[in-house]
């Protein structure tokens, strides 16, 4: 059976990482897609073409797409591709462990060494980076970014477009509100409202009116 062809939305360093993960997961990487700087389409990337977003509609029937941006604002790029008719791949690295009792949404990336425990729901276009731990009965909403080594415990809820930075810890039964940012190494011991940034041990609010990262 032929491998499914995949276009990577993005051309920066994370795009190369996601291409590597997707190759290990059995996809055939067909190229990369840029939506900000047309000059990046002049040269290839790792020997593969870089397409301008307006020129890829012809591939929508035969290729899947996945967005390789770490920012929670990647919804804009995803929406551009969706308007062109693209469907989205769910990329789970072979070394990740995802419970068969959990669900992972389309467009989500589960990187090497990540663990998703039982009865959890991972939304659409979520980035679960290297070595992330997600506990049982936890809900991760759409477009969340969870960066390397973060640990989200059981029965938590992470709101839409929230950003959990590297090595942060969210203890059991805690909610992180939509668009909020948890700083690197922070330990979240109580609910975090929407649109704030928290840092420290225990985590405390240091900035308001945040719109993800």
Could you tell me if 156 and 176 are in contact, meaning their C-beta atoms sit under 8 angstroms apart?
yes
Among residues 63, 119, 136, 137, which one is catalytic? 136
Burial code (b: 16+ CB inside 10 Å, e: under 16) for 75-89 equals bebbebbeebebebb
Long-range contacts of 165-172 (CB under 8 A, 24+ apart): 172/135
User: Burial of 43 by CB count in 10 Å (0-12 exposed, 13-18 middle, 19+ buried)?
Assistant: exposed
Q: Indicate the pairing of strand 145-146 with strand 163-164.
A: parallel
Active site residue 136: yes
Q: Where are the beta strands (DSSP E) in 64-132?
A: 64-67, 87-88, 91-92, 97-98, 103-104, 109-110, 115-116, 121-122, 127-128
Give the residue numbers annotated as catalytic, written as ranges. Answer: 136
């Amino acid at each position: 059976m032929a491998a499914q062809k995949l276009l990577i939305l993005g051309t920066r360093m994370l795009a190369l990482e996601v291409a590597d993960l997707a190759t290990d997961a059995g996809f055939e990487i067909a190229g990369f897609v840029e939506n900000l700087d047309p000059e990046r389409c002049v040269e290839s990337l790792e020997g593969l073409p870089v397409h301008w977003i307006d020129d890829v509609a012809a591939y929508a029937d035969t290729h899947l797409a996945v967005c390789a941006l770490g920012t929670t604002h990647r919804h804009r790029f995803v929406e551009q591709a969706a308007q062109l008719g693209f469907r989205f791949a769910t990329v789970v690295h072979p070394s990740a462990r995802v419970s068969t009792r959990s669900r992972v949404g389309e467009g989500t990336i589960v990187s090497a060494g990540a663990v998703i425990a039982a009865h959890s729901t991972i939304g659409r276009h979520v980035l679960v980076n290297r070595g992330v731990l997600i506990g049982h009965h936890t809900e991760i909403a759409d477009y969340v970014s969870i960066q390397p080594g973060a640990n989200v415990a059981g029965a938590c809820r992470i709101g839409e477009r929230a950003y959990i930075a590297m090595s942060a810890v969210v203890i059991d039964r805690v909610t992180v509100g939509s668009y909020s940012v948890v700083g690197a190494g922070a330990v979240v011991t109580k609910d975090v409202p929407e649109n704030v940034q928290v840092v420290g041990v225990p985590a405390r609010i240091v900035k308001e009116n945040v719109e993800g990262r």
